[in-house]
Amino acid sequence: MSDHVAELIALAFAEDLAGGVDITSIATIPAGQKSIAQFVNRRAGVIAGIPIAIEVLRYVGITDFSSVVNDGQYVLPGTVILEARGDIRKLLLAERTALNFLTHLSGIATLTKSWVDAVTGTHCLIRDTRKTTPGWRKLEKAAVRAGGGTNHRFALSDAALIKDNHIVAAGGVLAAFELVRQSYPSAEIEVEVDTLDQLREVLVAKPDLILLDNMSPSLCRKAVEIVNHEVKLEASGGITLESAREYATSGVDYLAIGALTHSAPALDIGLDLTWEK
C-alpha cells in the first residue's frame, strides 16, 4: 500500500471517530462476536477500488478476507465482490469507509465504460481530465482505467497544456507555444484552439497534440482534414454521452471527458452480515 493511500484511509477514520469510538457498535455488539461480511453489488457496473477496500479492512485489524472479483470486472446485481470474516465491531467500523471508496471508484469505472462503449468500433479513446477530488486523483484515474478509459496528465508538471488564458497572457498562440518550448524543450505540448484559423496557425509549430475546444462534430471533422494525421487531436467541451459517437467518428483521437471523475454517480454497493454461530 502506498503512503498516500494509507494517509487517505487514516484521514477517513479520523473523521469517522473524531478521537472517540463507535458508541453504537460498542453498546449493541458483544466484544469478540464474529461474523461474515459480504460486499454485494446492488446494481450492474464495473468494480473499482477492491485493493483499497482490502486495505481498509486491514487497517481495522481484519485479516481474513477474499476478493471474489477484480477491479475492471463488470458484474450483475447481487454479486458478492468481497468477503471478510472477523470481529463484528471491526467489520462495521470498516464498512462505511470501505464502501465510500468502492462506490465512488466503481461509479467512475462504470460511467467510463458507458463512454467507451459509445465509441466502440472507432479509433477514438476516452480520457479523463484533472477535474478530480483533491487527494483522490491517482485512485480516480485508476478507476477510469478500470472502466476502459485512458489518462491525461496527472499533474501540471507532467506536460504543457496551453489554454486560452495562456494564449492571451503570451500575446498569441504561437508565442505561447514558443515560450513553453524554450523553457521546457523536452516537455510534451498540447495546445487548445477555439477556431480552425487558430488550428492552422499552431499546426506549423507541430505540437504533440491539439485540443479542439467546444467545436461541433462537423468542425472536428474539418479539423481532422486540415491536420491530415500530422498531429493528434482531442475534442473537449459540450460533448455528451449521446453525441460521443458522432465526435468519435469525426476522426479525432481522444475525447476529453471531465464528467468521468467530477460527475460520476456512486455505484450502489452494500455490506451484508451473516451471523456465525
Q: Are 48 and 113 in contact (CB under 8 A)?
A: no
Q: Spell out where 47-183 has E strands.
A: 64-67, 74-75, 80-87, 125-127, 160-162
C-alpha to C-alpha distance for 167 and 11, rounded to whole angstroms: 40
Beta-ladder partners of 212: 193, 235
Q: Per the residue annotation, which of 42, 96, 200, 206 is the catalytic one?
A: 96
Closest CA to 215 of 236, 244, 190: 236
- The catalytic position among 213, 234, 245, 253 is 213
Is residue 164 part of the annotated active site? The answer reads no
Exactly one of 34, 43, 85, 131 is catalytic; name it. Answer: 131
213: annotated active-site residue: yes
Q: Which of 85, 163, 181, 232 is catalytic?
A: 163
What dihedral do alpha carbons 234, 125, 140, 187 form, nearest 10°?
-50
Q: CB of 85 within 8 A of CB of 35?
A: yes
Structure-block grid coordinates of residue 232: 493528434
Is residue 85 part of the annotated active site? The answer reads no
Instruction: State the cell numbers at 249.
Output: 467518428
Rounded CA gap, 211 and 191, in Å? Answer: 6
Active site residue 3: no
Set 87, 128, 190, 192: catalytic member: 192
Instruction: List active site positions.
Output: 96, 131, 163, 192, 213
